[in-house]
């Protein structure tokens, strides 16, 4: 049997949190496009449950950081979508102004 120290457990938990966070980020991004975004607390709850099942508790501070990170990612995606929409609107107005100036 391999002897795993507490420090190794923390390292493994950190890697699992990172990997699961990245996977969840991709899922959230995909679902935002469908207007069915996953709430960050739901993602954190799922990650906490998976880590608990592996006997690697997430910890309150890490839960809060992960939830905050996922919230910020969702906000960034929404802001980028709004910016893209505004750019499209601006392009339409420019076309309209160009056509009206030509008349």
- pLDDT 10s digits, 84-103: 999 999 998 888 888 877 76
Answer yes or no: is 52 within a domain. yes
Answer yes or no: is 88 within a domain. no
- What does the alpha-carbon distance between residue 38 and residue 51 come to, in Å, rounded to a whole number? 19
Answer yes or no: is 61 within a domain. yes
Residues, the chain, total? 103
pLDDT tens figures, 2-46? 444 545 666 666 666 666 666 655 555 555 554 456 788 888 888
Confirm if 51 and 37 have CB atoms less than 8 A apart: no
pTM for this entry: 0.56
Counting the structural domains of the chain, the total is 1
Answer yes or no: is 37 within a domain. yes
Answer yes or no: is 92 within a domain. no
Confirm if 46 and 72 have CB atoms less than 8 A apart: no
Answer yes or no: is 71 within a domain. yes
Q: Which domain holds residue 41?
A: 6-77
Answer yes or no: is 58 within a domain. yes
Confirm if 25 and 67 have CB atoms less than 8 A apart: no
Residue with tokens 């997430």: 58
Answer yes or no: is 86 within a domain. no
């Amino acid at each position: 049997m391999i002897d795993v120290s507490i420090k190794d457990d923390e390292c493994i938990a950190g890697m699992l949190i990172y990997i699961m966070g990245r996977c969840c980020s991709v899922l959230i991004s995909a679902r935002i496009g469908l207007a069915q975004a996953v709430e960050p607390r739901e993602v954190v709850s799922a990650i906490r449950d998976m880590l608990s099942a592996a006997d690697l508790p997430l910890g309150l501070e890490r839960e809060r950081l992960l939830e905050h990170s996922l919230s910020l990612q969702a906000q960034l995606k929404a802001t980028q979508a709004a910016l893209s929409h505004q750019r499209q609107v601006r392009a339409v107005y420019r076309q309209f102004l160009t056509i009206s100036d030509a008349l």
